[in-house]
Amino acid sequence: MSQKHFGTDGIRGRVGKEQITPEFCLRLSWAIGKIFANEKRRPHILIGKDTRISGYMLESVLQSGFVSAGADVSLLGPIPTPAIAHLTRAVSADVGVVISASHNPFYDNGIKLFDGKGNKLGDAVELLIEAMIDQPMLCQDSESLGRASRISDAPGRYVEFCKNTAPREFSLRGVKIVLDCAHGATYQTAPRVFSELGAEVIATAVEPDGFNINEGCGSTHPQSLQQRVIEEAADLGIAFDGDGDRLVMVDADGNLLDGDHLLYVIARSRQRREIMHGGVVGTVMSNLGLERALQSLALPFVRAAVGDRHIMEALHQRQWTLGGEPSGHILTLDMCSTGDAIVAGLQVLVAMQDVGQSLRELAAGLTKAPQVLLNVVVDTPAAVSVHPDLVGATRAHELAMGERGRILVRASGTEPLLRIMVEGEDQGEVTRVAEDLAEHAKGIQNA
């Protein structure tokens, strides 16, 4: 069965449209509560959110639906997505609910679900929820209603968890770090983690107002961070996305390091410390330079489809623990059940301290192949991606480039975008091919 409501990463959309409405979210939470209802005890469900203005509305609606189905609810407030996964497991809850649209603008929002082990909810359970949504919504009798409370020390618990993923002797004393928290879910916890480990922290984008999340800041807009690192003469900078599961980093010279660089640094460090379990899982978007750099270390590398769920599946199949995407979504499954940007950043800093090298020096072993990624706004990305005109143009370029490059055209699973990636040996050729395919996509959209 195909899923009607759940996408590649939960449910996401424009607030007030389609599924991100009070009515739908009320039915959704009631359905989840009913699915997890148990004759012996009430389900326990955690709700956390990022800093979007719509989070207040959705939090209240979801709470009502859960309580009406007889489930107890614990509210976590604004907190990173990986913190919700961790706390769901730590307090033995049945479900962890994330209200966030990650790196999207403030007018979008979404709902992601974790199971009791802190893993993304499986397809089979999502199908059960979708079937329950269409059933008549019946409220429990008063004596069977759930209760709602707040876990006031949730941020503090998560801060301690993050710090404990670093070695006991690890210290950031003498290290100057600029943090860009995207006015998002990490605005409270990330500065605490790094400062309590001894770093001199300059925190930016930590004043959320409900509307400025990801706006000109964060991992998708790192330019201001690059400039600030140079101005402050900092050792490095870290930019998180809106919900705290992705990061990019900036070295002392202002150079941007994406997820491919960070994966390489972490993998090399783990190999050196003899704690590397197997190889590394990337995606079809991972740069050829990463593959070659890992080959030089004799580390296996495999590609999965885009999305942390696909990376997770590939890691579990091979019993490996390290994987990620160029966007900065890094999975360290020996420490976390999901992608955690703060933990990944700490792993990079552990690597720096272990060998006494700067971030620039550590990343120097990876030389990226020329790559261009263009995002084309279209109404129906999936349809445009398989349109004969675009498919034909893509095939013609592939034949012309041969083994000198590769092309990937795919519909975004979270935004109305067609993503075009071209990689090769010559920057000029790569750019020309990407721009030509983008023009084809725009022509199809306009037609």
Cβ–Cβ < 8 Å for 201, 179: yes
Closest-CA residue to 193 (of 343, 355, 357, 406): 343
pLDDT digits (tens, 9 = 90+) for 103-112: 999 999 999 9
Supply 447's token pair: 């037609």
pLDDT digits (tens, 9 = 90+) for 122-157: 889 999 999 999 899 999 999 999 999 999 999 999
pLDDT digits (tens, 9 = 90+) for 236-269: 999 999 999 999 999 999 999 999 999 999 999 9
DSSP letter at 352 equals H
Supply 169's token pair: 């002797």
Q: Which of 54, 64, 74, 102 is catalytic?
A: 102
pLDDT digits (tens, 9 = 90+) for 43-98: 999 999 999 999 999 999 999 999 999 999 999 999 999 999 999 999 999 999 99
278: pLDDT strictly greater than 80: yes
Distances (CA, A) of 259 to 73, 190, 353, 358: 35, 18, 20, 17
d(CA 404, CA 24): 49
Which stretch of DSSP H or E encloses residue 381? Answer: helix 381-385
Question: Is residue 102 among the annotated active site residues?
Answer: yes
39: pLDDT strictly greater than 70: no
Predicted TM-score (pTM) of the model is 0.91
Question: What domains are defined for the chain?
Answer: 11-153 (3.40.120.10), 173-256 (3.40.120.10), 258-340+355-368 (3.40.120.10), 371-446 (3.30.310.50)
d(CA 68, CA 78): 24
Token pair 């705290």: residue: 244
- CA Rg value for the chain: 22
How many other C-beta atoms can be found within 10 angstroms of the C-beta atom of residue 30?
26
Please state the φ and ψ torsions of residue 256, each to the nearest 5 degrees: -85, 135
For 182: left if phi > 0, alpha if psi spans -120 to 50, otherwise beta; the answer is left
Supply 194's token pair: 């790094």
